Amino acid sequence: MRLIDERYLNHPTHGVLQIQDYLTSKGLKVNHKRVRSLLRKMGIMAIYPRRNLSRLGNAQYTYPYLLKGL
């Protein structure tokens, strides 16, 4: 768990698979399920941009709201 914590402090964007590769390169034989459960126990989540559902996206035409004045 100490290696996972050190890795997360240096690279907070790494997820389960990157941390698994790191631990494998350090000589530890770990499964992705084990890494996932350890990350959950430690309360660690990878930092990545979330979807912004407030933006319109690639809308060709914005339809007017017909009930606006009623």
**Distance between CA atoms of 8 and 15, rounded to whole angstroms?**
9
Higher pLDDT, 9 or 57: 9
Q: What is the pTM of this model?
A: 0.69
CA-to-CA dists, residue 7 to 32, 33, 48, 65, angstroms: 16, 18, 16, 51
For 10, the token pair is 């240096």
**Span 10-40, pLDDT tens digits:** 999 999 999 999 999 999 999 999 999 999 9
Classify burial at 63, counting beta carbons within 10 Å of its beta carbon; exposed 0-12, middle 13-18, buried 19 or more.
exposed
**Span 38-64, pLDDT tens digits:** 999 999 999 988 888 777 777 778 788
- Domain locations in the chain? 2-42
pLDDT of residue 55: 77
CA nearest 32: which of 44, 48, 15?
A: 15
